[in-house]
Amino acid sequence: MTEQISLPETAAFTKGVYTQVLNRPAGDDKRPALFLDRDGAVVVEAHYLHEVDKVKLIEGAAETIRAANELGIPVIFVTNQAGVGYGYFGWDAFLAVQERILGDLAELGASVDGVYACPFHEKGKPPYDH
């Protein structure tokens, strides 16, 4: 279902969906969270972003994420990755871009608590074609 790649220790594939929990909140209290669409809300929208050198944070994104961090509000990225589903690029390219984004945010004092990426699309290639 996925090519053989080296995943970060905190990441996994579950039924073809990439999940990464970077920081798990203490306790199980219900509380607000900030869910952000990665492409177009955090990084400048690029046509099937899969090249590290094309990563560019949107102005104000790091500051918004850092403000949520300071308030103790978990920040979660959600992202459709149809490019993986179409076979335009693999999870290795996604991971390289993701690590760059997390690194750029960290340099600006912002951190993300979780990442969820879905490659499925009705026009995708098997096994991502639903």
Domain boundaries, the chain: 32-118
Q: What's this model's pTM, rounded to 2 decimal places?
A: 0.83
Compute CA distances 12 → 27, 78, 89, 95, 115, whole Å.
Answer: 22, 15, 18, 12, 11
**pLDDT surpasses 50 at 98:** yes
- Give catalytic residues, as residue numbers: 37, 39
Which pLDDT score is estimated for 28?
67
Give the model's confidence band at 2: pLDDT under 50 very low, under 70 low, under 90 confident, else very high: very low
Q: Which two tokens stand for residue 92?
A: 């290795």
- Residue 121 burial (CB count, 10 A): 17
Which pLDDT score is estimated for 4?
66
Kindly report, residue by residue over 3-17, the tens digit of the pLDDT. 567 777 878 877 778
- From 48, 43, 33, select the one nearest 104 (Cα to Cα): 43
Which CATH number does the domain 32-118 belong to among 3.40.50.1000, 3.40.50.2000, 3.30.565.10, 1.10.357.10? Answer: 3.40.50.1000
Consecutive H or E run containing 17: strand 17-21
